């Protein structure tokens, strides 16, 4: 969004700044039930695995095919639970990683909006790369001036 620079440009930018909606929780809200369900399933499976593991040492050293049907079923259930726990932990880890990516992307979007408001003539299309954002900052008078510009826009009308 390009903000027009006019006599009321500073006021227009201030209004635009106030309209920025900091919504960093969208991903978390969308995945909250899934994560809670995975954590609950993980707890249940870990409790079952603990109970089964108490019986495992008795049959662990024997050949699988020499075991009776009940012991083979116990080993199969143990193996399935072990794999489910491992998969569930991996799914949870991937969701946490996605949260981090989402927060980073949200920060980039927010920074782009603030820069668009503070410097309306700036091209922010390439700001997904931090180096491009740093180049903009270096092209300005000084780092202090950049922050003063942003603070002035933020404090206008307070």
Q: What is the pLDDT of residues 23-81, one digit of tens each?
A: 677 888 888 999 999 999 999 999 999 999 888 766 666 677 788 888 888 889 999 99
| Closest listed residue to residue 150, CA positions, set 14, 7, 3 | 14
- pLDDT above 90 coverage of the chain, percent: 26
Q: Please, which residues have CB within 8 angstroms of residue 54's CB and are 6 or more apart in sequence? A: none
Angle at which helix 69-118 crosses helix 26-53, to 10 degrees, equals 160
In angstroms, the CA 80 to CA 67 distance is 18
In angstroms, the CA 78 to CA 20 distance is 52
The full 3-state SS of 57-108, as one line of letters, equals HHHCCCCHHHCCHHHHHHHHHHHHHHHHHHHHHHHHHHHHHHHHHHHHHHHH
- pLDDT above 70 coverage of the chain, percent: 59
pLDDT for 6: 37
3-state class (DSSP) for residue 18? helix
**96 pLDDT more than 50:** yes
Q: Please, which residues have CB within 8 angstroms of residue 1's CB and are 6 or more apart in sequence? A: 16, 116
In angstroms, the CA 53 to CA 75 distance is 9
The answer, as to whether pTM is greater than 0.85, is no
In angstroms, the CA 118 to CA 141 distance is 14
The mean pLDDT of the chain is 77
pLDDT for 92: 95
pLDDT for 17: 63
Report the range of poorest mean pLDDT among 8-12, 46-50, 52-56, 122-126. 8-12
Which of the residue ranges 5-14, 32-41, 141-150 has the most confident prediction, judged by mean pLDDT?
Answer: 32-41
Q: Give the residue, 116 or 128, on which the prediction is more confident.
A: 116
């Amino acid at each position: 969004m390009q903000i027009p620079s006019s006599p009321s440009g500073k006021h227009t930018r201030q209004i635009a700044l106030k309209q920025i909606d900091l919504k960093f929780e969208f991903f978390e809200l969308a995945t909250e039930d899934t994560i809670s369900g995975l954590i609950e399933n993980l707890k249940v499976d870990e409790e079952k695995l603990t109970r089964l593991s108490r019986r495992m040492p008795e049959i662990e050293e024997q050949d699988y095919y020499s075991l009776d049907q009940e012991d083979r079923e116990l080993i199969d259930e143990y193996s399935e639970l072990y794999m489910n726990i491992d998969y569930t932990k991996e799914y949870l880890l991937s969701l946490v990683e996605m949260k981090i990516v989402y927060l980073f992307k949200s920060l980039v979007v927010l920074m782009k909006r603030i820069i668009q408001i503070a410097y309306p003539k700036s091209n922010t299309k390439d700001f997904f790369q931090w180096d491009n954002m740093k180049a903009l900052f270096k092209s300005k008078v000084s780092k202090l001036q950049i922050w003063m510009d942003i603070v002035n826009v933020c404090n206008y009308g307070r």
